Amino acid sequence: MSNEIEIGRGKRGRRAYSFDDIAVVPSRRTRDPEEVSVGWQIDAYHFEVPVMAAPMDSVMSPATAIALGRAGGVGVLDLEGLWTRYEAPEPLLAEIAELDIDAATARMQEIYAAPINPELITLRLREIRAAGVTVAGALSPQRTQDLSQVVVDAGVDLFVIRGTTVSAEHVSGRAEPLNLKRFIYELDVPVVVGGASTYTAALHLMRTGAAGVLVGFGGGAAHTTRTSLGIHAPMATAVADVAAARRDYLDESGGRYVHVIADGGVGRSGDLVRAIACGADAVMLGAALARATEAPGRGWHWGPEAHHPKLPRGERVRVGTAGTLSEILFGPGRTADGTLNLIGALRRAMATTGYSDLKEFQRVEVVVSPYQPLNRPV
């Protein structure tokens, strides 16, 4: 049965689903939540929880990256953010949190116009390494060629190349684009790259040698990409499509497994459950962790799109404070809105549907929900 809908006589579109559109279905077996494994491994690095923190200044500082690492996840520091532009960014983070809504974008553009200091990249990454946790840093594709050696020399364990969208075939008449396949081949550390939101784009990224692919395009709480560019990828369909690319690449490559990481639209515990159910190995959390009392954004959340110098495609949004980082990940929960005890909710969902680990849970039955939540907060 075709999943295409006629938009008009000259255009058809494929129906796609967000996480809100689907639900997982219990099976004939249940388990004890404490006997469920939620650990995962990428390359040589094992993590107790399937959580990467989004490289956003409102989410990650060196201190919160260390805290998340000690909690069993991996914090990814934005190596083009305030922590690598200013020796003491805390006053600027406080200022951003206090900005009037009408002045926020323009003032953030001014703040982020300061140049990136390679010495600060080294300093921040070495601070994380000294704490004994996995070191991960992110650059945009535009900055990767210029700053990658600094990042590697500083001792990064996982190198993340993250953009609104990243392709293996960027075409430019102005400058030589990043040759992703050659770059990854020459690098000594595993690379996670994205975003990608289609089967074909993800398959090409996998063929570059990437260890993981970030799935998402404009689906995060702080994005306005759908409004400003008219581009959007509903996350349930995007994750399932990229998981299919992983399956086919596994056969094509003779057994090389590339991890799928849902990056966007995972604001609450139910979204985390459905992301794994659609085929993700882990999730990259932004707004969910920006609600932590330790988060640098002080209850506000924004990404690099929000301060783009020419075409902002994001905004500073108020997400509030839900609890400590530990409470957000492990509880206890005090509300029923999915903001606290994300890992506990994942364990219970897996146990209720009878699955013992994440790879098994990727095979869980899902249905298209017969209802749409109204006025769902981020």
* HEC-encoded secondary structure of the chain: CCCEEEEECCEEEECCCCHHHEEECCCCCCCCHHHCCCCEEECCEEECCCEEECCCCCCCCHHHHHHHHHCCCEEEEECCCHHHCCCCCHHHHHHHHHCCCCCHHHHHHHHCCCCCCHHHHHHHHHHHHHCCCCCEEEECHHHHHHHHHHHHHCCCCEEEEECCCCCCCCCCCCCCCCCHHHHHHHCCCCEEEEEECCHHHHHHHHCCCCCEEEECCCCCCCECHHHHHCCCCCHHHHHHHHHHHHHHHHHHCCCCCCEEEEECCCCCHHHHHHHHHCCCCEEEECHHHHCECCCCCCCEECCHHHHCCCCCCECCEECCCCECHHHHHHCCCCCCCCCCCHHHHHHHHHHHHCCCCHHHHCCCCEEECCCCCCCCCC
**301, 56 Cβ separation under 8 angstroms:** yes
Largest alpha-carbon pair distance within the chain? Answer: 61
Q: Give the model's pLDDT for residue 236.
A: 96
Phi, psi (degrees; rounded to nearest 5) at 62:
-55, -40
Q: Give the model's pLDDT for residue 377.
A: 45
Structure tokens at 153: 């020399």
Q: What is the CA 133 to chain-centroid distance, rounded? A: 19
Residues lower than pLDDT 50 in the chain: 169-173, 377-378
**159, 190 Cβ separation under 8 angstroms:** yes
CA-to-CA distance for 198 and 372, rounded, in angstroms? Answer: 24
Q: Give the model's pLDDT for residue 219.
A: 61
Residues ≥6 apart with Cβ < 8 Å to 257: 246, 250
Q: Give the model's pLDDT for residue 164.
A: 60
Model confidence, pTM: 0.92
CA-to-CA distance for 126 and 19, rounded, in angstroms? Answer: 37
Q: Give the model's pLDDT for residue 172.
A: 41
Q: Give the model's pLDDT for residue 38.
A: 98
Hey, what long-range contacts does 167-175 have (CB within 8 A, 24 or more apart)?
167/196, 167/201, 167/204, 167/205, 168/201, 168/204, 168/205, 168/207, 168/208, 169/204, 170/141
